[in-house]
Amino acid sequence: MSARTATPNSSWRIPPIGLFIILIVVGLTFLGLVILFSASQSMHDDPTVLLRKQLIWLALATVAGGIAMMVNLEALREYAYWLAAGSILLLALVLIPGIGVEVNGARRWMDFGFMRLQVSEIGKLGLIFSMAHYLATYRRDFNLALKGYFYPCVLLAIFCGLIFLEPDYGTAFLCGAVGGCLMFLAGVRLKFLIPTAFAVLSLFMVAVYHDPIRLRRITSFLDVEGNRSDSAYQLWQGILAFGAGGIHGVGLGSGRQQMSFLPEAHTDFIFAIVGEELGFLFTSGVVLLFMTLFFVGVLQLKRAPNLYQYLLVMGALLFVTFQALINIGVVTGCLPTKGMSLPFISYGGSNLVFMFVLTGIILNGFRSWELPALRRQREL
């Protein structure tokens, strides 16, 4: 079967492994709604305000995820570079004052009146589609420095650079990590990748050193207790939440941190509320669900009919699980503080919709790879 042959998507049947993935996502999303209601009780006179908004976003996310699950991945390949160009254009436009909305010193959103869109989420889609298409098309040129290394690096650098300028160091790092993994999995030579990784990390450290806000986050991370009353206040309150929760938690709605002690309790630090109110056993369960999602997905990738679909689904899988890993690492004090939501659980419309779209892409692969025509003709 040619790598450019269209994938037959006539069957609506979801394989058992796909249903298992859906159950994981439904469980995480339901937990997010419950914890959101608990964490937002002290934020508004009506504690259901945020919950109702999130339910609207959930409806949109479900539709978007369903569409992503049913579209023809091979047909979309024809538009991979157009998707990349469109997302790059949006990433550039959001940097322009008057077009991009600035919040807390960062210009990451576009306001359309009825909704506010975080454009880096679209950038994630543009990145994995364009990288998967390019790397699959030129897989036989990976021994060449120009086609096999320089061009995909330029593509990745454009996405990461624009996101970095918002500034959003965490998402830029996330995109770089996912893009680098895709290049490695596609077969790009390590003699190219390793020096590049060291160079990029060095530049990243220099940028952090010259950015007072990000540098303060690093120094606070290194001495949380010493900075607990100022720059490490949020992280310290998160750690206290985990300590208060213990093994079994203090009970839903009974947590101290929901009383506005913990900033961003319903978004970036919602995992701390899970730890305080439901305890270590529940937080371990959340981690286990994300790990299961990743490893089950990786095991299914051997069924991919070609390199393009392999890289596309792997890219979606990496974005979901890497983001969860970073968020959990930050909230538990294992990584410096970074504003990044916990997939399916944190409050926020753009991230929820695009996490469902990424999940839809994963399920799309699992579903279409089960079709008889593809089971008989595998390229990998």
pLDDT-based confidence at residue 36 (cuts at 50, 70, 90): very high
Evaluate if residue 12 carries a pLDDT over 80: no
Q: In this predicted model, what pLDDT tens digit does every residue of 264-321 receive, in sequence order?
A: 778 899 999 999 999 999 999 999 999 999 999 999 999 999 999 999 999 999 999 9
Evaluate if residue 11 carries a pLDDT over 80: no
Angle of helix 349-368 relative to helix 119-137, nearest 10 degrees, comes to 30
Structure-block tokens of residue 277: 């109110």
Q: In this predicted model, what pLDDT tens digit does every residue of 239-260 receive, in sequence order?
A: 999 999 999 999 887 777 666 6
Contact partners, residue 33, CB within 8 Å, separation at least 6: 51, 54, 55, 58
- From first CA to last CA, the distance across the chain in angstroms is 11
Q: In this predicted model, what pLDDT tens digit does every residue of 210-228 receive, in sequence order?
A: 888 888 888 888 888 888 8
Rounded to whole angstroms, how far apart are CA atoms 68 and 159?
Answer: 22
The answer to whether 249 and 276 have CB atoms below 8 angstroms apart is: yes
Q: What is the largest CA-CA distance in the chain?
A: 63
Evaluate if residue 7 carries a pLDDT over 60: no
Evaluate if residue 48 carries a pLDDT over 80: yes
**Predicted local confidence at residue 52, as pLDDT:** 92
Q: How much is the mean pLDDT over the chain?
A: 88
The answer to whether 110 and 119 have CB atoms below 8 angstroms apart is: yes
Evaluate if residue 231 carries a pLDDT over 90: no
The answer to whether 380 and 19 have CB atoms below 8 angstroms apart is: no
Residue 297 or residue 9, greater confidence: 297
The answer to whether 335 and 345 have CB atoms below 8 angstroms apart is: no
Q: Which of 30-34, 128-132, 159-163, 248-252 comes out lowest in average pLDDT?
A: 248-252
The answer to whether 319 and 123 have CB atoms below 8 angstroms apart is: no
The answer to whether 332 and 269 have CB atoms below 8 angstroms apart is: no
Half-sphere exposure of 307 (CA within 13 A, CB side): 17
pTM, entire model: 0.92
Evaluate if residue 116 carries a pLDDT over 50: yes
Q: What is the mean pLDDT of residues 7-36?
A: 84
Evaluate if residue 113 carries a pLDDT over 60: yes
- Per-residue 3-state assignment (H helix, E strand, C coil) for the chain: CCCCCCCCCCCCCCCHHHHHHHHHHHHHHHHHHHHHHHHCCCCCCCCCHHHHHHHHHHHHHHHHHHHHHHCCHHHHHCCHHHHHHHHHHHHHHCCCECCEEEECCEEEEEECCCCEEEHHHHHHHHHHHHHHHHHHHCHHHCCCHHHHHHHHHHHHHHHHHHHHCCCCHHHHHHHHHHHHHHHHHHCCCHHHHHHHHHHHHHHHHHHHHCCHHHHHHHHHHHCCHHHCCCCCHHHHHHHHHHHHHCCCCCCCCCCCHHHCCCCCCCCCCHHHHHHHHHHHHHHHHHHHHHHHHHHHHHHHHHHCCCHHHHHHHHHHHHHHHHHHHHHHHHHCCCCCCCCCCCCCCCCCHHHHHHHHHHHHHHHHHHHHCCCHHHHHCCCC
